[in-house]
């Protein structure tokens, strides 16, 4: 049987997630994005997975990075922030990338305003995790790394 590709996972954070730690800590927690990325890298090292963490406030930049993942990455973990609820271009790019997708939200979007209850990404995702803060990315990473075992 051909050997699976080693895990090579892209972690994308969308708009305003560069403000973690400062932004509404009661909702998003006290960890900064650097803290989140360090925890992801540490878990990836334990799992023997390659990981690349990127953040952008620009929809088109996220789309470009998703396109570039096609044939290169074994999974994408994405917290598209507010674009989860508004963007068609991001889910279109995720479908075109043909890479398993995990959707993460730090907060429980279903306990919040109704406009956050729908995500255009959820129906194409392998898994959706919300409300578990930083741990959500780590649970997604555990699962994404297993796809390459």
116 contributes a contact to ligand DHK by CB under 6 A? yes
109 contributes a contact to ligand DHK by CB under 6 A? yes
82 contributes a contact to ligand DHK by CB under 6 A? yes
Q: Is 28 a catalytic residue?
A: yes
What is the sign, positive or negative, of the torsion defined by CA atoms of 140, 138, 64, 122? positive
CB of 37 to ligand DHK, least distance (A): 14
What's the CA gap between 90 and 84, in Å, rounded? 8
User: Which residues lie closer than 8 Å to 18 by C-beta, 6 or more apart?
Assistant: 33, 55, 57
CB of 4 to ligand DHK, least distance (A): 30
Name which position in 74, 79, 87, 148 contacts ligand DHK (CB under 6 A): 79
């Amino acid at each position: 049987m051909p050997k699976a590709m080693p895990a090579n996972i892209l972690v994308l954070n969308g708009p305003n997630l560069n403000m973690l730690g400062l932004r509404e800590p009661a909702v998003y927690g006290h960890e900064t994005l650097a803290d989140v990325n360090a925890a992801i890298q540490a878990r990836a090292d334990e799992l023997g997975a390659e990981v690349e963490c990127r953040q952008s406030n620009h929809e088109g930049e996220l789309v470009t990075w998703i396109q570039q993942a096609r044939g290169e990455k074994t999974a994408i973990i994405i917290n598209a922030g507010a674009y989860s609820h508004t963007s068609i271009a991001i889910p279109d790019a995720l479908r075109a990338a043909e890479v398993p997708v995990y959707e993460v939200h730090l907060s429980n979007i279903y306990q919040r305003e109704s406009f956050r209850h729908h995500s255009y990404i959820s129906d194409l995702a392998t898994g959706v995790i919300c409300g578990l803060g930083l741990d959500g990315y780590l649970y997604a990473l555990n699962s994404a790394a297993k796809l390459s075992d």
